[in-house]
Amino acid sequence: MREFAPGIHLVESTVRFYGVRIQTRMTVVQLSGTRLFVHSPVPLDADLRRDLDRLGEVAFVVSPNKIHHLSIGEYIDAYPRAKVFASPGLPERRPDLAFAGVLGDQPEPGWAAELDQAAIGGNTFFAEIVFLHRASRTLIVTDLVENLDRETASLFGRTLARLFGV
Distance CA 35, CA 102 (A): 20
pLDDT tens digits, residue range 22-40? 677 899 999 998 999 999 9
Please, which pLDDT band fits residue 9 given cuts at 50, 70 and 90?
very high
Question: Which pLDDT score, from 0 to 100, does residue 142 have?
Answer: 81
The answer to whether the beta carbons of residues 28 and 1 sit under 8 Å apart is yes
Determine the number of helices (DSSP H) and then strands (DSSP E) in the chain: 4, 10
Average pLDDT over residues 39-46: 94
pLDDT tens digits, residue range 95-134? 999 999 999 999 999 999 999 999 988 665 667 899 999 9
pLDDT tens digits, residue range 124-163? 566 789 999 999 999 998 866 666 666 656 677 677 767 7
Average pLDDT over residues 83-101: 92
Query: In this predicted model, which residue has the larger pLDDT, 12 or 49?
Result: 49
The pTM score is: 0.85
Please, which pLDDT band fits residue 67 given cuts at 50, 70 and 90?
confident
CB under 8 Å to 13, separation ≥6 — which residues? Answer: 23, 24, 25, 26, 42, 43
Name which of 101, 115, 104, 40 is nearest 72 in CA terms: 40
